[in-house]
Structure 1
Amino acid sequence: MLVSTNVLQRKPPGRKSPAATWLGENGALVALVVLAVALSLLSGDFLTVTNLLNVGVQAAVTAILAFGATFVIITGGIDLSVGSVAALSAIVLAWTATDAGLPWPLATVIALGVGLACGLVNAALIAYGKLPPFIATLAMLGVARGLALVISQGSPIAMPEAVSHLGDTIGDYLPVPVVVMLIMGLITAVILSRTYTGRAMYAIGGNEEAARLSGINVNRQKLITYALAGLFAAVAGIVLASRLASAQPQAAAGYELDAIAAVVIGGASLSGGKGRAFGTFVGALILAVLRNGLNLLSVSAFWQQVVIGVVIALAVLLDTLRRRGTN
């Protein structure tokens, strides 16, 4: 009788304590705090206002790209083209506003439309052409980068002065790229938590066939998902070009990997069905803080690549272990 009583008093298998649940959902935030504390102890320059603002500006472009990638990864897909699409969109804006002589507001709308169109092409290849997301977006990576080089003839194009103000600072302590990043993050959070499209993304990532049987138009939702990723990439490209005061055809090269890393570090699952805007934001901050801290500590740029690679590998490994633990 004593044995059976002990058995009845045990917690059901698989049930986690509230603290463990919170830690599992906010592990990236805890890691960011620990990293910030460690760097503040190692470098007296880390916690200065100027440096923290610099970290925010460095994180902005990656975070905006990552917000768009969050939509795709939640559905169980991948988008390798966002860096190239960002560069192409910025080149189109600069070229249409200078060489073509269009007003900068119209040029900006066209540039955003280019990003949207690239996302729609990706989605069409995936949803209707049945290409794997990796292949479809890898092809777009090459096409978008090539078009950026063709339009610019391989040379930077000056950005319109009005658009270049996106790289400025409001007052002394509020960089415009950080403002844009926060706005895009808020839009991402609203889409994921308050709209039918957001719920459909989670359903498709959780089980695409079940989502289809439940009445979700999977192909249409994929069109929306990849279109959003392309649109966010265009915004990121414009912000980056504004910081540089020129659109460069080779800009944002490799940023797609940082964007994916930020999403995964933020707690999203590469198998789909899981991810949050706040987690992605924290993941982008971790990458920016890590790079900034290594620079302050005078760590070689070569070793920085090694450290970033290890962090990404650990994040994916933790995601794999987490998924095994839930099965």
Structure 2
Amino acid sequence: MNTTVTPAVTKRSSSVSGLGTYLGLAGALLAMIVLFSAMSSHFLSYNTFTMLANQIPDLMVLSVGMTLILIIGGIDLSVGSVVALAASVVSVATLNWGWGIFPSAALGMLCAALAGTVTGTVTVAWRIPSFIVSLGVLEMARGLAYQLTDSRTAYIGDVYGWLSTPFAFGISPSFILALLVIVIAHALLTRSVFGRYLVAIGTNEEAVRLAGINPKPYKVLVFALMGLLAGLAALFQVSRLEAADPNAGAGLELQVIAAVVIGGTSLMGGRGSVISTFFGVLIISVLAAGLAQIGASEPTKRIITGAVIVVAVVLDTYRSHRAKRRG
């Protein structure tokens, strides 16, 4: 059974997990750092990089989940709203019900995982594109967040502040946790049967089915994991803002998809790397910080960021066509 799936997995995954891809992304990141350092005397500093590290944990964990979803050929546009929903649930449990930190956090993450499970189940059971299903979940999750908070920001205080408080070399626990998620997800994707099945599903789902493997539970599980990671991202945001904002996460899904695509994960499925995605997160975060430091206007920042995304998609399409010709 495994012999039917493994060759395709090895062939597709090796194209993105090789040293050349990592070096290319690292080179692009280094070039951006050099450019912004030349344009701003304040950019190249330890404070800049620790500030970036402590601001991106939510984007890091969300990008990990999105990488797995894109690998199986899906997409989830609801992650920003699910983050707001999870944060709202945490605020209600903490402020209104008097729950402790960990039960409230667990409930928020459970609700987020449930939202992801709903998206995955509807997508798989009725064979509806996840793009459409996640749009519906996006609206429902945002509406629930507004209802739970009465459309107002709920100030929780610093009970979760320890997650975002730097404790060593200016780095916060949330960044360490996000790195741990990346390490675990990378091992899961590259060293486990589960990871090989995900790549195989995105490469040729029918071949996986003919090999005697039911892809449905794997696909639903990936969407549930995306929801769980959205719940974790919500905790990171609550710890940093000391509040649950029902408007939080608006447009966050676009940043997540941009980071994943820049990292080289294919929008067509079957190809992706968590480590490459991490580079994508760093690239898009350094780009945003650098443009802000050189005084670029908001329209200019959006134009440049959009252009980078378009170039990444074009490169992804080129890589896919070249891989097909070689195949």
TM above 0.5: yes
Residues 23-42 of structure 1 correspond to what in structure 2 (within 5 A)? Answer: 23-24=20-21, 26-42=23-39
Residue 174 of structure 1 and its aligned partner are, at CA, apart by: 1.4
Q: Extract unaligned runs of 5+ from structure 2.
A: 1-14
Which AA in structure 2 matches 1:144? A
1:137 maps to 2:134:
yes
**Paired position in structure 2 for 1:190:** 187
Q: Deviations over 1:185-221 (max 9, x none)?
A: 1121122122222111101011111111112221100
1:235 to 226, 232, 252: 232
1:105 maps to 2:102:
yes
SS across alignment from 1:188: helix
Distance 1:323 1:215 in 2: 27
Does the CA contact (< 8 Å) of 2:54 and 2:171 recur in 1?
A: no
Residues 45-84 of structure 1 correspond to what in structure 2 (within 5 A)? Answer: 45-84=42-81
Residue 160 of structure 1 and its aligned partner are, at CA, apart by: 5.5
**Paired position in structure 2 for 1:180:** 177
1:117 to 114, 123, 130: 114
SS across alignment from 2:56: helix
Does the CA contact (< 8 Å) of 1:122 and 1:137 recur in 2?
A: yes
Residues 147-162 of structure 1 correspond to what in structure 2 (within 5 A)? Answer: 147-159=144-156, 161-162=158-159
Q: Deviations over 1:58-99 (max 9, x none)?
A: 322211111110110010110001111111101101111110
**Paired position in structure 2 for 1:199:** 196
- Residue 198 and residue 159 in structure 1: after superposition, are their counterparts in 2 closer, same or farther (change >3 A)? farther
Residue 171 of structure 1 and its aligned partner are, at CA, apart by: 4.1
Q: Deviations over 1:117-140 (max 9, x none)?
A: 011101111110211110011111
1:258 maps to 2:234:
no
1:278 maps to 2:275:
yes
- Alignment RMSD: 1.5
Distance 1:261 1:286 in 2: 10
Residue 22 of structure 1 and its aligned partner are, at CA, apart by: 4.5
Does the CA contact (< 8 Å) of 2:86 and 2:109 recur in 1?
A: yes
Q: Deviations over 1:144-168 (max 9, x none)?
A: 0110001001111123633222121
Residues 308-319 of structure 1 correspond to what in structure 2 (within 5 A)? Answer: 308-319=305-316
**Paired position in structure 1 for 2:87:** 90
Structure-2-length-normalised TM-score:
0.91
Does the CA contact (< 8 Å) of 2:21 and 2:276 recur in 1?
A: no
Number of residue equivalences: 308
SS across alignment from 2:107: helix
Which AA in structure 1 matches 2:316? D
Does the CA contact (< 8 Å) of 1:261 and 1:312 recur in 2?
A: yes
**Paired position in structure 1 for 2:285:** 288
Distance 2:84 2:166 in 1: 23
Which AA in structure 2 matches 1:226? F
Residue 24 of structure 1 and its aligned partner are, at CA, apart by: 4.4
Does the CA contact (< 8 Å) of 1:70 and 1:276 recur in 2?
A: yes
Which AA in structure 1 matches 2:46? V
Residue 52 of structure 1 and its aligned partner are, at CA, apart by: 0.8
Distance 2:184 2:115 in 1: 20
Distance 2:302 2:177 in 1: 27
